[in-house]
Amino acid sequence: MTELQPVEQPGQLAMTNLNQQPLQPLSLDDIDALEGAQAAPVDLMSDYWSPEIPGEFKRVIFDRIEKMEVADQLTGEIMELDCAYFFEKDKNTGSVKRLRNGSKRLVGAIQSFNLAQGTPLEIRYRGKKANKTNAHKSDDWSIKPLMVNVNPK
């Protein structure tokens, strides 16, 4: 079985096999090995998480903050938006999928705590909150680190 495991280099997650050996990139000479390869239970494509109901939450593993190009909804102009990326286990399929969210409050909070890649979190959407500097409302969040026992006895 293949699973996500932290590797020695901070800021990276690597796919490892049961023997805990990092999977290596293949050369074109090894292309025939793809026929017998097993797909990992992790989808690297990300879905945008846009919660609507206060109290909605996710338990995730923090991956990274990365810029993403998005179109401005009013002007259509392409701009860069910092997004937080996470891994979540899909309760229906059991596979791992990637999520992202570009809420400035969420991304800013994660940046301010300088969270390490692989940090387990519970992120709860608390609804819209009025801004103090303008008449707009922004998403409000609760971010709690999870204390995980990975070797239960």
Looking at the structure, tell me whether residues 59 and 101 fall in a common domain: yes
Record the pTM: 0.73
Looking at the structure, tell me whether residues 91 and 134 fall in a common domain: yes
Torsion angle of alpha carbons 101, 103, 108, 113, nearest 10°?
-40
Residue 111 lies in domain: 42-153
Do residues 96 and 85 make contact, with C-beta atoms less than 8 angstroms apart?
Answer: no
Looking at the structure, tell me whether residues 34 and 53 fall in a common domain: no
**How far apart (Å, rounded) are the C-alpha atoms in residues 66 and 44?**
14
Report the CATH number that the domain containing residue 86 is assigned in CATH: 2.40.50
Which of 148, 147, 51 has its CA nearest to residue 106?
Answer: 51
Q: Looking at 5-9, 44-48, 89-93, 133-137, which range is the least confident one? A: 5-9
Question: Looking at the 3D structure of the chain, how many domains does it have?
Answer: 2
pLDDT tens across 99-132, in order? 999 999 999 999 999 999 999 999 999 998 887 7
